[in-house]
């Protein structure tokens, strides 16, 4: 659990640094970082926050198969509860 928290902190620091705007980065206005953050939030059990963030990412036009996979899993888990 501590490793995941450290990774989340690293992601947040990276997101707020100028390094994310490297010319070689994806042109997604940082949405790829938000997507990764939502994956970590989901993995540590913060399902509602993860889903909220991931839906926001998708609604901004950043869409991948991995995002769809996590959203399906989140919906499946909500139906089980």
Residue 24: per-residue pLDDT: 45
**Mean pLDDT in consecutive groups of 10 residues from the start of the chain, 81 residues:** 74 66 55 88 89 92 88 81 57
Residue 25: per-residue pLDDT: 46
Q: How far apart are CA 54 and CA 69, in angstroms?
A: 11
Q: How far apart are CA 45 and CA 59, in angstroms?
A: 23
Asked if 53 and 32 touch (Cβ cutoff 8 Å), the reply is: no
pTM here? 0.68
Asked if 77 and 45 touch (Cβ cutoff 8 Å), the reply is: no
């Amino acid at each position: 659990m501590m490793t995941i928290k450290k990774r989340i902190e690293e992601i947040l620091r990276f997101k707020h640094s100028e390094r994310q705007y490297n010319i070689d980065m994806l042109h997604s206005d940082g949405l790829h970082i938000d997507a990764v953050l939502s994956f970590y939030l989901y993995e540590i059990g913060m399902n509602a926050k993860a889903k909220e963030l991931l839906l926001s990412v998708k609604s901004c036009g950043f869409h991948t198969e991995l995002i769809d996979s996590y959203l399906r899993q989140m919906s499946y888990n909500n139906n089980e509860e």
